[in-house]
Structure 1
């Protein structure tokens, strides 16, 4: 019989799958702070990385045909050292510092979403693409949030919406796979993490599938505002809990 924590993982990651299925990003940013209120961060982060991989695969299958594969090379080249740096940080910092870092990144993500505007489309750049990949690898491995660096790069490069979703979808799968391999080799996938994953994996897939038939009927602007409000609250809660 599942206990409260396993049901919490199931419920929150079903919501996460739905959120990402509708918007393409943001699922982990909603689920992780809530789950981290009850489960230690050093359990929640590797769990989140497993479930994010499942979610990324589900979403990438919808858009992979629009992927700009030439843009993946610098992003993945930068992602590799970033992932190793993130693994090192994850192993040496405390749970409170991780939770504070999550809170700060969530609030920065909301600020970026509300203020960042692209005046000109600068095109792809090997240096900026690899820098974005490094940031995604670092943040993805450390706190499982890899979206902001490569999202900003996609806007900078001027990708169309379909190219944006397709290219980032395939990159997220490659990045998350690399992270899972590194974390598994470091012994982070304990019996506890895997027991929660057994509930989170089907929940994530269900949530993503539920989003498919309704995504066209949801007002994206209203949904985006609600999502940013939830992420703001989650960021504030993480910051408060990191100092208590």
Structure 2
């Protein structure tokens, strides 16, 4: 049965899909904190994981030819044990703590974006790639934000924007599918989650596809500043709500 929350899910992931279509990451960081005001975290996180796979699938399809396949293996190898740790956290940690963790990560992400600078390009390695994959698997499964660890790795090794989008798009699809399988096996996909997903999936696809034709016309610096301001506000809201 339709209720206003379904319309909220559609609208938030329409915006989230657009944000990810422009920047490659950040869609869930925009949608999840707002949705957390209306949807319990233990339903919202599995929902976001489903929609992330759809969102990343659209991005991967558009930039697949730029994917660095050799870089995927260490990240995927690290993401599997990370996903099991994240599943344990999601199942047994209270929703208020999960929401506080989301807020803290969002604030740290803004800080990292404002302070992190690449002074030299490094070679890809199994150790660094595996560590980034482990972090993505843990965070992606526990709170649905897998972007920061592998995003930092992509900057660390100096991927070009298209290589960044193609490689991370494919990685997120594979890693996210792995998470969805684990969450489904743990019984986290309730009828409410599936019902929300039926509204979120077309919204995510529409938002992501709408971003592609205008990406080259968007001022990336301005877009980045606005996005960071939104993420900062969302992080503060999540932290405050987790305390009351």
| TM-score normalised by the chain length of structure 1 | 0.98
Verify: 1:99 aligned to 2:103, yes or no: no
Matched, 1:129 2:129: yes
How many Å separate the matches in 2 of 1:178 and 1:223? 31
- The DSSP-based 3-state class of the residue aligned with 1:25 is coil
Q: 1:190 maps to what in 2? A: 190
CA RMSD of aligned residues (A): 0.8
Query: Which consecutive segments of 4 or more residues in structure 1 shift more than 2 A?
Result: none
* Alpha-carbon distance in structure 2 between the residues aligned to 1:103 and 1:96: 11
Q: Distance in 2 between matches of 1:216 and 1:118?
A: 24
Name the CA distance, whole Å, in 2 between partners of 1:214 and 1:72: 28
State the shift of 1:58 in Å: 0.5
1:178-223 deviation per Cα after TM superposition (whole angstroms, max 9, x unaligned): 0000000001000000000000000001111111222122111111
Aligned to 1:239: 239
SS in structure 2 of the partner of residue 117 of structure 1: coil
In structure 1, C-alpha distance between the alignment counterparts of 2:39 and 2:100, rounded to whole Å: 15
For structure 1, which runs of at least 5 residues remain unmatched after alignment? none
Provide the residue aligned with 1:44 in structure 2. 44
Q: Does 2:116 correspond to 1:116?
A: yes
Counterparts of 1:55-94 in structure 2, within 5 Å, are 55-94=55-94
1:204 alignment partner in structure 2? 204
Instruction: Report deviation, 1:83.
Output: 0.3
Structure 2 equivalent of residue 217 of structure 1: 217
Which residue in the other structure is 2:26 paired with? 26
Cα distance in structure 1, aligned partners of 2:194 and 2:217: 35
| CA distances 1:137-195 after superposition (whole Å, capped 9, x unpaired) | 00000000001100111111111222111111110111100000000000100000000
Whole-Å Cα distance in 2 between the matches of residues 74 and 214 of structure 1? 33
Partner residue in 1 for 2:148: 148
| Count of paired positions | 244
- Work out whether 1:170 is the aligned partner of 2:170: yes
TM-score normalised to structure 2 length? 0.98
CA distance in 1, matches of 2:55, 2:242: 27
Range moving further from structure 2, 90-99 or 158-167: 158-167
CA apart distance, 1:122: 1.1
What is the distance in 2 between the residues matched to 1:31 and 1:234? 9
The separation in 1 between residues aligned to 2:209 and 2:130, in whole angstroms, is: 32
What is the CA–CA distance in structure 2 between the aligned matches of 1:18 and 1:122, rounded to whole Å? 31
**What does residue 227 of structure 1 align with?**
227
